[in-house]
Amino acid sequence: QSVLTQPPSVSGAPGQRVTISCTGSSSNIGAGYDVHWYQQLPGTAPKLLIYGNSNRPSGVPDRFSGSKSGTSASLAISGLQAEDEADYYCQSYDSSLSGCVFGSGTKVTVL
Protein backbone atom coordinates (compact mmCIF):
# COMPACT_ATOMS: atom_id res chain seq x y z
CA GLN A 1 0.00 0.00 0.00
CA SER A 2 1.67 3.21 -1.18
CA VAL A 3 1.58 6.34 0.94
CA LEU A 4 0.75 8.41 -2.15
CA THR A 5 -2.28 7.24 -4.12
CA GLN A 6 -2.50 7.41 -7.90
CA PRO A 7 -5.07 5.96 -10.31
CA PRO A 8 -3.79 2.69 -11.78
CA SER A 9 -4.41 3.81 -15.34
CA VAL A 10 -5.54 6.66 -17.54
CA SER A 11 -5.99 6.75 -21.28
CA GLY A 12 -6.62 9.21 -24.05
CA ALA A 13 -6.57 9.64 -27.79
CA PRO A 14 -3.66 11.35 -29.53
CA GLY A 15 -3.89 15.10 -29.06
CA GLN A 16 -6.07 14.90 -25.98
CA ARG A 17 -5.24 16.08 -22.47
CA VAL A 18 -5.01 13.66 -19.57
CA THR A 19 -4.38 14.28 -15.89
CA ILE A 20 -2.94 12.03 -13.19
CA SER A 21 -3.72 12.70 -9.55
CA CYS A 22 -1.46 12.01 -6.58
CA THR A 23 -3.22 12.06 -3.22
CA GLY A 24 -1.26 12.24 0.01
CA SER A 25 -1.85 13.37 3.56
CA SER A 26 -0.88 15.91 6.19
CA SER A 27 2.48 14.21 6.78
CA ASN A 28 3.69 14.52 3.20
CA ILE A 29 2.16 16.69 0.48
CA GLY A 30 -0.11 18.48 2.96
CA ALA A 31 2.88 19.31 5.16
CA GLY A 32 4.31 21.42 2.37
CA TYR A 33 6.83 18.99 0.92
CA ASP A 34 7.40 19.33 -2.79
CA VAL A 35 6.12 16.76 -5.26
CA HIS A 36 8.18 15.38 -8.11
CA TRP A 37 7.06 13.30 -11.08
CA TYR A 38 8.90 10.57 -12.97
CA GLN A 39 8.25 8.94 -16.33
CA GLN A 40 9.25 5.32 -16.86
CA LEU A 41 9.15 4.13 -20.45
CA PRO A 42 8.85 0.36 -20.92
CA GLY A 43 12.04 -1.47 -20.03
CA THR A 44 13.93 1.65 -18.98
CA ALA A 45 14.94 3.47 -15.82
CA PRO A 46 12.69 6.25 -14.52
CA LYS A 47 13.39 9.80 -15.62
CA LEU A 48 12.67 13.03 -13.72
CA LEU A 49 9.78 14.77 -15.48
CA ILE A 50 8.65 17.49 -13.06
CA TYR A 51 10.42 18.75 -9.93
CA GLY A 52 9.35 21.11 -7.21
CA ASN A 53 5.65 20.64 -8.02
CA SER A 54 5.64 22.42 -11.36
CA ASN A 55 9.13 22.80 -12.82
CA ARG A 56 10.38 21.01 -15.92
CA PRO A 57 14.01 19.91 -16.26
CA SER A 58 15.75 20.97 -19.42
CA GLY A 59 14.58 18.90 -22.38
CA VAL A 60 11.14 18.00 -21.05
CA PRO A 61 8.43 19.23 -23.44
CA ASP A 62 6.06 21.91 -22.14
CA ARG A 63 3.19 19.50 -22.85
CA PHE A 64 3.92 18.20 -19.37
CA SER A 65 2.84 20.34 -16.43
CA GLY A 66 2.47 19.85 -12.70
CA SER A 67 0.51 21.45 -9.91
CA LYS A 68 -0.07 21.02 -6.20
CA SER A 69 -2.91 21.98 -3.88
CA GLY A 70 -3.52 20.94 -0.30
CA THR A 71 -2.77 17.25 0.14
CA SER A 72 -2.78 16.46 -3.59
CA ALA A 73 -0.80 17.06 -6.73
CA SER A 74 -1.50 16.54 -10.42
CA LEU A 75 0.41 15.87 -13.60
CA ALA A 76 -1.16 16.97 -16.87
CA ILE A 77 -0.15 15.84 -20.32
CA SER A 78 -1.59 17.93 -23.12
CA GLY A 79 -1.42 17.07 -26.82
CA LEU A 80 -0.98 13.40 -25.92
CA GLN A 81 1.45 11.54 -28.18
CA ALA A 82 2.14 7.84 -28.72
CA GLU A 83 5.59 8.26 -27.14
CA ASP A 84 3.94 9.34 -23.88
CA GLU A 85 2.80 5.79 -23.25
CA ALA A 86 4.59 4.97 -20.01
CA ASP A 87 4.25 4.60 -16.27
CA TYR A 88 4.22 7.80 -14.21
CA TYR A 89 5.09 8.11 -10.52
CA CYS A 90 4.77 10.96 -8.06
CA GLN A 91 7.24 11.30 -5.17
CA SER A 92 7.50 13.40 -2.04
CA TYR A 93 8.84 13.26 1.49
CA ASP A 94 6.93 11.98 4.51
CA SER A 95 7.72 13.34 7.98
CA SER A 96 6.06 10.43 9.80
CA LEU A 97 8.18 7.91 7.92
CA SER A 98 11.24 10.17 7.82
CA GLY A 99 11.91 9.28 4.25
CA CYS A 100 11.00 9.53 0.59
CA VAL A 101 7.72 8.11 -0.62
CA PHE A 102 6.53 7.23 -4.10
CA GLY A 103 3.05 7.03 -5.51
CA SER A 104 1.60 3.72 -6.62
CA GLY A 105 2.15 4.56 -10.27
CA THR A 106 -0.17 5.27 -13.21
CA LYS A 107 -0.01 3.63 -16.61
CA VAL A 108 -0.86 6.01 -19.44
CA THR A 109 -2.24 4.42 -22.58
CA VAL A 110 -2.58 6.27 -25.86
CA LEU A 111 -5.61 4.93 -27.68
> Binding residues for another protein, per CB under 8 A?
2, 33-34, 36, 38, 40, 45-48, 51-52, 57, 87, 89, 91, 93, 97-105
Nearest approach, Cβ of 53 to another protein (angstroms)?
9
Nearest approach, Cβ of 67 to another protein (angstroms)?
16
Question: Considering beta carbons, is residue 62 or 98 the nearer one to another protein?
Answer: 98
The secondary structure of the chain, three-state, reads CCCEECCCEEEECCCCCEEEEEECCCCCHHHCCCCEEEEECCCCCCEEEEECCCECCCCCCCCEEEEEECCEEEEEECCCCHHHCEEEEEEEEECCCCEEEEECCEEEEEC
Question: Considering beta carbons, is residue 100 or 111 the nearer one to another protein?
Answer: 100
Question: Considering beta carbons, is residue 50 or 80 the nearer one to another protein?
Answer: 50
Question: Considering beta carbons, is residue 16 or 26 the nearer one to another protein?
Answer: 26
Nearest approach, Cβ of 7 to another protein (angstroms)?
13
What does the alpha-carbon distance between residue 37 and residue 70 come to, in Å, rounded to a whole number? 17
